[in-house]
A = this chain, B = another copy of it.
Amino acid sequence: MNDGLTIRPFTFSIDLENCRITDADNHIKRNLADMKNQYFYKEAYDKMMKEDNALLYEVYEKLVPEKSGELIQGLSIVHPGKVGKEYFMTKGHFHSIIDTAELYLCLKGKGMMVMETPEGEWAIEEMIPNKAVYVPGKWAHRSVNISDTDLVTLFIYPADAGHDYGTIKEKSFRKIVIEENGKPAIMDNPMWNL
């Protein structure tokens, strides 16, 4: 039965070996070109762009009606690599309905969740397998891969939340995660613009 008001239960499986979910409704790919002006190391970015518009991250989603009470979920895969000293990362976003949370469960790899409020408060949490990061309402968030393998996380958020990428594109995050002396380090972002 699908009367347009109710949806039926469904399932999906996480294929960790191939870094995907079964029966995804949506498969988003983000390449280097999609991240123009988001990396601090611009010369490195331009040089990489000349060589290859590398695939940085992918998202598989299961979709449901975008209404309050339902949940959207999927798998995020951030590939390993760096632009200059800065690790591959997602664009990062607020939710359009800003007071909506998101849960990330790390399944593979190692990363950092970089978070920030509109007032400039920030937080960074490490992601390792079987560890979950709760991103409360109001907190913009970006996944950063600090490992040599794919960073794979399951995400779940309210179906009516929506995405606001524009605010981050405009003002960036206060902190960036770079490799320094072979280790991840948190650095003030010179491009940050509250």
Q: Are A14's CB and B134's CB within 8 A?
A: no
| Smallest beta-carbon distance A64→chain B, Å | 7
Interface size classification for chain A: 35 or more
The CA-CA distance from A40 to B69 in the complex, in Å, is: 33
Chain A residues 131 to 173 lying within 8 A of chain B, measured CB to CB, are: 131-139, 154, 156-159, 161
A130 neighbours in B (Cβ, 8 Å) = 13-16
User: Chain B: which residue is nearest A122 at the CB level?
Assistant: B9
The CA-CA distance from A139 to B5 in the complex, in Å, is: 13
Q: Tell me the number of copies of this protein.
A: 2
A102 neighbours in B (Cβ, 8 Å) = 71
Q: Are B69's CB and A101's CB within 8 A?
A: yes
Q: Are B64's CB and A136's CB within 8 A?
A: yes
| Smallest beta-carbon distance A37→chain B, Å | 26
Q: Are A138's CB and B9's CB within 8 A?
A: no
Chain A 87-127 per-residue mask, 1 if CB under 8 angstroms from chain B, else 0: 00000000001011111010000000101010001010110
Q: Are B12's CB and A132's CB within 8 A?
A: yes
**A contact residues vs B (CB 8 Å cutoff):** 1, 6-16, 62, 64, 67-71, 73, 97, 99-103, 105, 113, 115, 117, 121, 123, 125-126, 130-139, 154, 156-159, 161
